[in-house]
Structure 1
Amino acid sequence: MPGTKHIVLLLIAVCIASAVWGHTIINYAMEKAPAHEVIGYYFRMGVTHIIPEGFDHILFIISLCLLSNKIRTIFWQATAFTVAHSVTLALSMKNILVAPGAVVEPVISLSIVFVAIENIVLNELKAWRILVVFMFGLIHGMGFASALNGVGLPRNQFFTSVLSFNLGVEAGQIIVILLVFGLIILPFGKKYFYRKRIVYPLSVIIAMIAAYWTVERIMVL
């Protein structure tokens, strides 16, 4: 797709340019809690960050589901997204890679616009979309880190809490994928009208919502 290479290069530049040292808030209450409570607390937080609070991430995942009616292909995209956001989430929480929300949030909404438009202009999934999804996942991971840093992390269970949060996010994403597949793709994916009456309208609506978010987020800079 024209412009894909430029978008990938832009995302790489954003990641590199935003590598600055930051400060992670400490969750003193969780430092005194047993491991199973820490795991449950951050896992639930990860799930709720997607369902019901992460409407933008939900729209991104829905967009990933619409270009193919094969569950394996959908999960390949989701896997690339998960690996990417796991990397930047961990790096961000260790203060190795930190990006301001004023940069991350508009790019997240732009990623939704991009994928939604792809669903309209492409008839089938292209191999390079996995790379694009991976790059967008890096940006989404910084957004997840911003939410996680809002409540802080226990110093004595840092990796446990980050892993638990990430597993919660993954669980939320899987729920969205299964719902889309079960309610939309499975009953309608092979119908002759699927793209015209379902993929196109849904993608247009998602793109318009995300475009509005992009403008709104840029305006508050």
Structure 2
Amino acid sequence: MSRSYGQFCGLARALDVVGDRWNLLIVRQLLVAPARYRELLDGLPGVATNLLADRLRDLETAGVIERRLTGEGNAVGYALTPWGAGLREPIESLIRWSTPLMVRGPGEDDFRAEWLVLPLRALLAGRVTVSRSSTVVIAVDDRHFQVRATSSGIEVGSHDGGDSDAVVRADAATVLGLAAGVLTLDGVDVEGDEAAARAVFGA
């Protein structure tokens, strides 16, 4: 990497690696799942192809990401290294910190439903305690996510097609408000066991 703050400080050195524009958003995508170049490009609206290639090269050189064969022929994908995966905690902390910035909704900003996976985990983990395991499907646009709350914590991912206790249908801003605890389920479209949905959202 060509730029450095030149400071013997943990924050400065961390920013030397991930502080450039788009770097943390690339990590966000890879925290959800390993991805091929085209998938990263599609999931990062606004990034130029040459800039994405530069950022991927920088992150790989720094040891944050690595290239892997995807199992589809000789296609190459990108994944976080174990050290790179350690960025989950600070990224989830930033997501929680951003809650006041999200209140006004998306406005004209781009939105991808898959961007909800990390915020749901970040906002619900540590805030929700359950007395019984619950699985709630969250439907936003045409995407379905699954939140499984157990005594050991919260798991969030794409819906696996299995049985669920409840289905919550809402727009992204409402889902984020529910996860942050600033909205309640009153007036929200809930199918199935509403008590399970309230348990997941801490309501």
TM-score bin, normalised by smaller chain: under 0.3
| TM-score, structure 1 normalization | 0.25
| TM-score, structure 2 normalization | 0.27
Higher strand share: 2
Higher helix share: 1
